[in-house]
A and B are shown apart, each in its own frame.
Chain A
Amino acid sequence: MASSQHVLLSPAELAYLHASLSLTPPIRPDGRSPTQFRPLVAETGILPGTNGSARICFADGTEAIVGVKAEVERTAQRPGEETVFLEEGGAGGDGDDEEEEAGQGLDKRKGDASWVEMTVEIPGLRDDDSGTAFLAAMLSEALLADGEFAKRLWINRRFHWKLYLDIILISPPLSYPLPLLSLTTHLALLSTRLPRLKSEGDEDPFFDDDWAAAPYLFPRTTSSSSTPSSTTTKSPTPAATRPPITLLVMAVGNNIIFDPSKEELAVADVALAVSVTGLSPSHETETGGGTAGEKQTGRNLRLLSIRTIDPPSRLTAPGVANAANTAYGASNGTSNGTQKMAEAEAVEGVWRPPRGGAKRMVLGALVQKVLERGGVVDEVLDALEGADSG
């Protein structure tokens, strides 16, 4: 669905909403603080027939279900790759030197974006609707952005897992469903388990029947490690990365507002979909090299992708100032010049749809706010992890 679905608000209402959201601190229609999310109900592992599943219900009633299914697929062999495989000792020399610290065992793992297939179903919309396709592209883009995810699906040189992510929006699309779908996908991936591999090397894969022994796709940290690591490079576990989340952030004036509702999105100056991933969950890391003792809790966040969302505010009709309104005594016809002027300059309390692109400062501030250590993203990730393990 498009973000620009119909908003049934008059210019006066839009102006009021815009004014109250640009106050410091902003006053949101539902009384939330700018960084507060809507309350949600989440559960995982709801469908035993899938490798991983999750359901999230937002307080406004929107609900989504994600199911993950995995199938073993034969990896397409490209000519020329074999020669690299033969000299196994020199695997580090084939270009991915930055992976050195990841250990020799992981070096030969490769991933491909085509190993993940994502579909989004939204009731009442065609499955080839541009908005739906855009949503699916945005979500899978975040997932594949760092290239680490696809590597997890590697079984051996000849086989890999093909992961199907089916995202279903159960409720009618009341608000722009991107955050909901992203959070549900995150939870489903956290609960995803793949059967334990029993075969070795490049044999045809053979798996353990015991589902209880199946490892999680994103391994869970059993306990917080007691040894405080000074730098993250010392614990080079790609396992520490978590599935990404995509958050909807918008700006009104200089205010940055998280998780906007449909009405708030209708007056947004800028709306961004920011995808981030948490690297080491609840790990304490020192900031900088020398500043000892200054420890910050929270995870290292990594920015994966940014997409601008076309806010529906651009399509709203502008209000007319009293000075330009013929019903309020403005002369019509003769003063074309004043009418043009009224269109050009903003009048206090009269709604004008935002024009032009986002200001660079605002964009920077938006991203900065998202990546803040111990900020909103941390809270969300913590909450989701709690929902998954609990």
Chain B
Amino acid sequence: MPLDTSTYNLALLRVDGRRWNELRRVHAQIRTQAAADGSSYLEMGHTKVMCVVTGPSEPGPRRGTGGGGAGGAGAGGAAEVVVSIVIAGFSSVDRKRHGRGDKRTLELQSTVANALAASLHIHLFPHSQVNISLHVLSQDGSLLAALINAAALACVDAGIPMTDYVAACTAGSTSTYAANDEGADPLLDLNHQEEQELPGLTVATLGESDRVVVLVCESRVQVSRLEGMLAVGVDGCKQVREILDRVVREKGRRMVQEGTVEKGIGLNEMDVD
């Protein structure tokens, strides 16, 4: 059902009151679950995702889950990253049951697996497996971005060596493809309503660099608008990376203060009071 977002031009405000370059509220926690090697909880607006990482561990019996496996296929010189995504039936506005073999879910799984396999140092763990299970509790757009961010945080918590954060975010454009409006502004961090109507893409970058790890665009958009959208998206990823970094540092500081972990050598410059 198309929505009317043509009011954007009047006040330059989006349906939820944001400016074009504003992220929604991002709230994240790590180490939310005691039993797992790594875990995280991430909210991007109303999109809520939980992630649990097990491993690197010995690969279990082969299951025909068809989940997104990436990296060396376990037997080779590198660990395999296996991602399984469970989209809760109650996550969307109308209750919808998502089967395990859902094609969309499978694609999300393989995208997340490939994105993380590229930044995790999986070559350090031959003949092993990193299991990432993601649970979608609530959906309001930017699902893939939230999944990637949550998985990256959980991998940090699990202590798996990685090159840098993989931070993801979405970008869109203020007018539809059909409007063919050359002067359309790019938008940052689409919510569900905007995602339904406007062209959008998901981009993930590696750390503070401009290196793009994931770029997914599933809607029709004029190629002239793509560059602007990508630039805004990459800029958003940097903001997201800052947020993720703050979450990890905050948790680390608290753990040092509580005495859960000893203050390491590299932490001297960290301001622990």
Contacts and interface: CB of A to CB of B under 8 A. Distances in A.
Contacts, number: 79
B33 A171 contact: yes
A119 B98 CA distance: 11
A124 B60 CA distance: 10
A49 B90 contact: yes
A142 to B, nearest CB: 20
A146 interface: no
A174 B137 contact: no
B34 A61 contact: yes
Interface string A145-178: 0000000000000000000101010111010000
Contacts of B86: 121, 123, 168
A7 B65 CA distance: 24
- Consensus secondary structure, chain B interface: loop
B90 to A, nearest CB: 3
A53 B100 contact: no
B50 interface: yes
Interface stretch (A67-75, A220-228, A331-339): A67-75
Interface in B16-72: 33-36, 46, 48, 50, 52, 54, 60, 63, 65
A61 B33 contact: yes
B85 to A, nearest CB: 10
B126 interface: no
A60 interface: yes
Interface in B188-227: none
Q: Which of B95, B97, B131, B135 has the most CB of A within 10 A?
A: B95
Interface residues of B, number: 29
B133 interface: yes
Q: Which of B60, B89, B135 has the most CB of A within 10 A?
A: B89
Contacts of B138: 47, 49
B84 interface: yes
Contacts of A69: 89-90, 95
A124 B46 contact: no
Contact of A170 (B33, B46, B65, B100): B33
Contact of A68 (B54, B65, B90, B97): B90
A46 B63 CA distance: 33
B88 interface: yes
A67 B137 contact: yes
Q: Which of A53, A168, A170 has the most CB of B within 10 A?
A: A170
Nearest to A65: B137
B65 A172 contact: no
Given A60-B35, A171-B36, A47 B90 contact: yes
Interface string A46-67: 0101100100010111110101
A127 interface: yes
A126 interface: yes
A119 B46 CA distance: 23
Contacts of B99: 127
Interface in B105-128: none
A180 to B, nearest CB: 12
A60 B36 CA distance: 10
Interface in A66-99: 67-69, 71
A128 B60 CA distance: 20
B89 A166 contact: yes
Interface string A6-34: 00000000000000000000000000000
10 contacts: A61-B33, A61-B34, A63-B33, A63-B35, A119-B97, A123-B133, A124-B63, A170-B135, A171-B52, A172-B52
Interface of B: 33-36, 46, 48, 50, 52, 54, 60, 63, 65, 84, 86, 88-91, 93-95, 97, 99-100, 131, 133, 135, 137-138
